[in-house]
Amino acid sequence: MTSGERASHHDWSVPMLSGLNEFAPPRQPRRWMAFLDLKMRPIHKALLAVVVLTAVVVVALLLYRRMGPLPTFTDRDIAGATAITSQWLEIGPAPALKPSGKQSLVILELEGDYTPDFQAQMLRFPDGSLGMPEVQLVDQQGHVFQLHFLMAQHRDRTGSNVMGGAGFGSPDLPTDRGYSKVRVRSDKPMKCSKIIWRG
């Protein structure tokens, strides 16, 4: 290659490189934008998490208000639709009921518009009269334990006083044994959609 050719090649290459440099974006602003992007990402994630959590809480509150308290993992159905009369009804769950150490309850899911009268410690029946079913647990040795009205579970969370269930328990119920029978009676006949053990 002659010197003229080398000069010609040099004349063409320098302007091309110079032109590329003129159109190339500056590096410093790009680094600054990347820095801002890294800074903003955790904030966006935190805001998204707050929005999702808020939506979940709102939906849960709406369902809780509409449906009432949700069943717990320890709830166990021990009887279906049941008519309770003045005669003792004996339910023999299998396996035997075993308290878990916290407050155990036998819950009567009531059919009809019952409301609690806490002052009288009674239930107000749909006809306006007062009454209270008797509930007992019998352990595997035949010992009988009387349960007491401890909980009124409202049918929903709309402000109505109508009960969905009545819970019976005893603070002195021994937790070191199993219970083979549940006994229920009521001077005033009543119906339950089901009977639940909450251990």
Mean pLDDT for the stretch of residues 69-93 = 86
Beta-strand relationship, 115-117 and 144-154: unpaired
Percent residues over pLDDT 90 in the chain: 48
Given phi > 0 = left and psi -120 to 50 = alpha, else beta, which region is 111? beta
Which of 19-33, 109-123, 178-192 is the most confident on average?
178-192
Give the pLDDT score at 41: 63
Instruction: Give this prediction's pTM.
Output: 0.63
Give the pLDDT score at 89: 97
Residue, of 37 and 140, whose pLDDT is higher? 140
Mean pLDDT for the stretch of residues 107-128 = 90
Cα end-to-end span (Å), the chain? 98
Are the CB atoms for 135 and 129 separated by under 8 Å?
no
Asked if pLDDT for residue 9 goes beyond 50, the answer is: no
Give the pLDDT score at 158: 60
Tens of pLDDT along 172-192? 999 999 999 999 999 999 999
Mean pLDDT of the chain: 77
pLDDT band for 118, please (50, 70, 90 cuts).
confident
């009676």: which residue's tokens?
185
pLDDT band for 100, please (50, 70, 90 cuts).
confident
Q: Give CA–CA dist 62/65, Å, rounded.
A: 5
* Helix extents (H) in 68-175: none
Q: Give CA–CA dist 72/70, Å, rounded.
A: 6
How many CA atoms within 13 Å lie on the side-chain side of 120? 10
For residue 43, give both structure tokens.
């904030």
